[in-house]
Structure 1
C-alpha cells in the first residue's frame, strides 16, 4: 500500500494568443491512497473533519460525502477497466476549511501496479465540475510521458470557448513528477499548463513546514485566478462569458 505523500512545487500557465500571458506560482498538494485515507490523519491533517489541513470526500466524485473508492471503482467497471488496483487521489488540501481545486487527478492502477487510467476532475469558479477519464480502449497500461487526448466539453475560463481539445501528459517517474494539460482550440495550440512537485515524506513536520511557507494556499489560488483574469481583460483578450456545464462523460479517444 502506498503511503500518503506531500508534494511541494509550482503551477505554470502560459497563454500563447492573442496576447502572450505567463505566470508561475508556488503550491503544495497531496497524494492520498483512497483505500487507506486514515493513514493521512495526524495532529495537523484530518479526513472528513476540521483541522488546519484536511481532506473531505464531499469535495470530489459524487460530492455527497460518500466513500470515494467504491465510486471510482464503479466508474472503472463501467468503462471495462480493472478495479482491483490502488487508486491515488492528487489534490490541494483544505486549508482552514477552505479549498478550491482547479483540477484533481485520480491515478488508477491494476493489480500489478500498472497505471491504467487517470480521471482528471476539473472545477470552475462557478461551482461546476467535470471529469475526463483517460485510458486506452483495451485497458493497456498508460506509459509514462504518453500523450492522452480528450475533447473539451466543459466551461473553465470565460476567456476560452468550449471547443477543441486537451492533451494530457503525466511524467510521474521523474524526480519531480509533472502533470501537463495543454489546450488546443480550433486555431491550434492556445494554452500550456503544468503542475509539478517534489515529493516529501508524509509527516507532521513536513506538513507544518509547507503550511508556514504557504499559509493562505487556497486564498492565494483564488486571488491569483481573478488577478490573472483581470490582466487578460486589460490585455484585450476576448471575454466569452459563462457556458453550460456538462456531466461526467468519457472523452473521445
Structure 2
C-alpha cells in the first residue's frame, strides 16, 4: 500500500435491499494520512492541528482527547495479538474537517507490516448519536489482507435506526495501485440487507488537488449529515420499521 500522504476522490454508494429497496450514490473524497509523519500532509489548505479550509485534529479519532494516535492504536493491536505482524506504517483514511466541521460515519486505519502489506484494518464507526465503536478486522492466521478477501465481523453497534443490532458485516478491501476501495455488505439472517461501496482514485495530497476536490465536492462533511437526514426522512415516509437505540457496547473495540 502507498504510504505517501494522499487524496482519494471518488464516490460512496449505499443500496438497501430489505424491507424496501433504496439506492443512492454521491461524490466524496477522503485523505490518507501516514500516522508516523502527519506533519508531511500539511499544506496551505490542510491544517494539522490548526484551522484551515480543511483540517485534521487528533481529537477527532482514537481516544478523542487529542493524544497521539499511534500509541493508542498500537495498544489495541498489542491486546489483540496483532502487534508483531502490524509493525509498519499505519495509514488513516478519513474525511478532514471542512470549515471546522467533521462527521465521519466510518474511518479506516490500515495497519501495515514492514513490507507495506495490509495485515489488519481498524474500522472506526460513528453514529449520529455521538457514539463510536471500532471493528478490528484481520485474518485469523494474521496473513496479508488481499484484494477480494472477505473478512467478517459481528454487528454489535447501533448505526442506522432502520436496522437492528444483529447480523454481520462482510468486508473486502482493495489497496493496491492507485485505486482504493472498501466493500461492506451487511447480512442479517443470511440475507444481504445493505451494500456499501466506498471508492476513490489516489493522487498526491497537494493544495492544488485539495482545491480541485473541494470545487467538485464543496459540502463534503456537511453534505454527509444532510444526506443521512434526507434518507432517514425518505425511509420514515415509506414506513420502514424504526428501531430504538440500545445501549452502546461496553468494549470500544471488537
TM-score relative to the length of structure 1:
0.95
| Post-superposition offset of 1:175 | 4.5
Q: Structure 1 unaligned runs (5+)? A: none
The more displaced of 190-199 and 238-247 is 238-247
Whether contact under 8 Å (2:31, 2:205) holds in the other structure is no
Partner of 1:45: 46
Partner of 1:64: 65
1:27-106 maps to which residues of 2 (within 5 A)? 27-81=28-82, 82=84, 83-106=86-109
Partner of 1:130: 133
| Post-superposition offset of 1:152 | 0.3
Task: After superposition, give the CA deviation of every residue in 1:214-245 in whole Å (9 maximum; x if it has no partner).
Answer: 22111110000000011111122111122211
TM-score relative to the length of structure 2:
0.95
Classify 1:156/1:176 alpha carbon distance in 2 versus 1 (closer, same or farther; 3 Å). same
| Post-superposition offset of 1:173 | 2.1
**Residues of 1 paired with 2:253 and 2:67: CA distance?**
20
Partner of 2:252: 248
| Post-superposition offset of 1:24 | 0.2
| Post-superposition offset of 1:2 | 2.1
| Post-superposition offset of 1:99 | 0.6
Q: 3-state DSSP class of the match of 2:133?
A: strand
| Post-superposition offset of 1:210 | 1.0
Q: Structure 2 unaligned runs (5+)? A: none
Correspondence for 2:236 among 206, 225, 233: 233
- The CA RMSD over aligned residues, in Å, is 1.3
